[in-house]
Structure 1
């Protein structure tokens, strides 16, 4: 069967419309399903959490009633029936309990406010053994009561005497079939048909509470993982209770939970069917109108062929080419449209390639965030800044770099941000995956489609180095402002750009006086200015710095001696950007040094000129200095005496000698005067010696000076 072009175009166009609408409908359905399930899950999670908390509070409250009552059980209550009856009349354990009992230490039920057919023994019950062993109140797993056969939950409080010996237990029972705090939840409804269930936890859970009493103590299956698009399963939310090993389940039947979704699916199918029919009719009419000139041309050609024209009309030539803009003069509208479309696609491909190149090579980290806060795409710079190795590691983005205890709160805040229709500009402090601290500037803008936020796109800039640099500059500036040294900076042409307070005081400038019009050389004496051009600046340019002594003007235009450091700052191409100079006044120090040198020379001249023998001994008892008179007395050259022990050079003798420890006494600060002092073996003269102690800067003994009052020959044996 030959199909007409009109029918083919209508068929293809209708199919394309139906396929597009179907895909869009499927996508919308999936989005709607996700949104519906997410909303339902959020509501159910909140409800389950609130009910679980309420159940925990109710169980704790009921157990506290039993604990308070147990405090009133004494030996009389255990021993005497009348006391037990009176205890139960006053204890008010009904409600909340459906029954209560007093149990002896060996597990025998001695009293039950609900009479039993005979004595009962619960020593084999886990809840009783646990209370006896731990000494703490317990809540049992659901058990079948031995009194009435009903499924029950028993709360047990151990009893102790004054010596803290276990004497029994007080047991309260919650009949899961009768009215109590647990069974009332089984009759409560969630929505129209939903229900609450409670089961034990573990590999073989059983029902503790269920709307159907026949299900109590029956095995409770573990719910399968919920699929967002499975409308055949009940919607179940689970929460664990804190006080007992139970689990609360909030169950919404599938018909109620997914009813809106099923109805939306049916409506979508109906819309697709109607869209297909309407599209087929509209496309058929539109294509027919567009194809009318072609049909007319076909009819004319057939008529001419049927008439048997002697010469058929020449066919219309195919346009040779259409220019890149699609605006060629040759060719029909179809050709020009095709050319313009190809040109547009080519421009779009170029723009997309350019944007991809900018995206990949940008020094800024670029990211795209979905509505749930997860990053769907990041560039290489983002990975590099945060220290991630792969894009898969960046799904959580900066959240994964926070401490564990801060991630939950930060994730909630971030998820709120990416759903807002406003941009964000924050400075964030983090630690990279390798532990390096980061300071980041994060900017983002919302992606809006049809007035709704679809996520955020943004950039990340690492300003860690800039912050550290600014901090260093502030510290450097504070140091320059506080130092007494002169600090001056100039540009590459010698124009002043900075003077610290010390420099302004030296130059006689006010703290706020402008300096941009001044040159550094104008503040220097002529001899220093001359050295700048031939020595100081050339060496700084060659080595990066120059250090030495120069003369500078002070505020009164007097020359002063300074220690001068000049540093040349160069860029990465080696070009000079600026100069920094640091100057310190050393004129007073130099004058003090010169005065010290003069004093030392004068003292040396005086010491060498006096006729008395002088010897200086350090704290270790060694000779460190002496004059020519002492050298002559000892009969040994100066170099042969320096460094020797004074006890080797001089030996006290005679009746007035202070003893062998005289050097230690003199070195310790004691002033000694004695005579004579015999010269070392080989010497021929004696000294009348006086020892004067020396002190260091802290006032401690630092050796002594020995001065000879007189020198005379060695006496004869009658001496």
Structure 2
């Protein structure tokens, strides 16, 4: 149902008046819970600060590990894909901290991924802001949360520059954090506050979005009303009453928010609202009529503007019949709207001029595929006129050999509202010249519906001709150098060089004319290998077989300057009619050897980093044998790594801790990423541990082992326990509140049933307490309640429970009684304790109490039964004239 603006304004104004009255009536009631809420809010703010600092430290750790890993890659040749991929594989400890790692060369091209993703190799990331910052500024940075173009997953990317020895950027190492994947943020979102509270992480700024939320579907969504704070909710969109505290993260432009519903700690105060609603119904009705009439008069120009906009949508031309002469906000809107339409008309003309200047043919179609617009380049490529193009005459230009297929492909794309891409041969209108064009079209969606298509047409005739010539040239080159990608040397049976290509000249520093006819052993083979070389050469030339025939081996050869060059040797033996000729292909692997040495050094540095992070990092193989633990293991357990390496995990940790870890370990060995919490007492210190198990997968998908990351979260658990305890204390008297009483009375009944000893429940209130409040004020009333509670506490044992339910209502749980008379004795003792006057400021008050006692001796009595019986006794005491007690027995059916 659609409501008019007049109706909405009348309702809103009336509602505002009603709300103001209700606010005044309920202000006093609201103050009752302010002190308690302030206490909870301070404790929650402390928890938020501690959690935010811990989260910032984890993010700093990840960024530091990524930056240090990038430093280890600074000496590598990132243009060599095998070296790049090997370098990434060596970063397995850093990989455990991220969803994936990506290695990017300075031009923005992806040269390696971990885990390996061949489809991503070659992807250009030069337009990414985080990449440009890391490359240009030379500092690591963290991207805003975003949705991956490839996987569609919500991500946060950390980028660190890879600096060479000259301090120039040689590439960028990118670590990805999947926001819906268990990780640093995933652990936070699963951490509860109390029973129904939660943590969220949001971006800062004018339009914050979720980075982490217990509901994964809300990640990257705008901030929800239930997580708003009062200072960032001026529009009043905040959801159900909640205590929301926040803390900015020092590492990244985010903030951590802790959300705890007030309903968990405070009962709703709604009585005043109900009274206000009854009292203001008639006022709201009369007020609405007056507002309706005033609104109708004031909004007449707005109706005129609405009609003008409707006419524009029906095709009316400028200028519009809009209320531009009105000297108010509606006139301002009308004038701005007319100016906007004029600017839009100008921009449309500019866009059409840009399209006409493009070398690409540009066209636009409706949802049925009918052409609505083409630019000049489209007409030049096809030879059509604008009228012919609009009439769909492009179809008659198609090559007859595949015209039917081309038309069907276009129609299928239109019907399915999908993109269209095709290379097509055309015969230009007019001169009939054959051209090859590449056509691409994409659907235009508005509100989820396809409104049409836009596309481009490119003349690729010359490009195709060049590609054909290149293919022929490449075919000839491949036939000549099929087995000679590097240096090529041909040697006859006598050991003399008979062929020496240009790459051999460059690799070994000797010209072709210099070596032809010379024995290779004289200048190419190191003296230490002359014997093995001679025997291998004789075998190959006689039989065509040898250690390097049709396989690759590594060996050193001599350069002109006398230094040895490591090469990879492959030999093809061809028979020339008399003997076999050795055709040797030699690949200079000097750089590869240097990279392997650097890789080993890099691995050693990465392990050193792992030993210094404040997280226990370990690795188990597929038989659960411990293969690696970092230095944190020794710090926590006092045991050296050498004591546990090679042993099954079950023999390394206690049986109780192993039973906690075993389900997660088995799941990780099945290929699942597992996250769980447990308790350890290793080294005599009890720790609450957060564990993450990440499977180590081989290239064929087999699980080779499990990486384990264990974090000490003991501090966070202690804070959570403190908050839960505060939710059970009455802030005025310091006594247990109703929630704590309900938990304890049920436990007391259970103990009474087990021990076969009676117990009692005492209900009491302050006689004439309302008169004290009305006459002396709530401040004196609060002091009376505190003094009352103190005197009652002095009358009971330390094992008994005194609690305040609400207002002036108090209860006492007496356990382990010998007889019902003991409860009566306590009631009389309380009466005597209250006889002394209450000296409060300048007031001297006589305070008495009515007490109802319910004694139970049985095991089939429920807490509700016991409470009702005590309440019945309390009212009996009041009927007896107050300042007394009444005792009722409640005998259950105990079977012993």
- For normalisation by structure 2, the TM-score amounts to 0.26
Q: Could you say which structure has the greater relative contact order, defined with CA pairs below 8 angstroms and 6 or more residues apart?
A: 2
Higher Cα Rg, which structure: 1
- For normalisation by structure 1, the TM-score amounts to 0.32
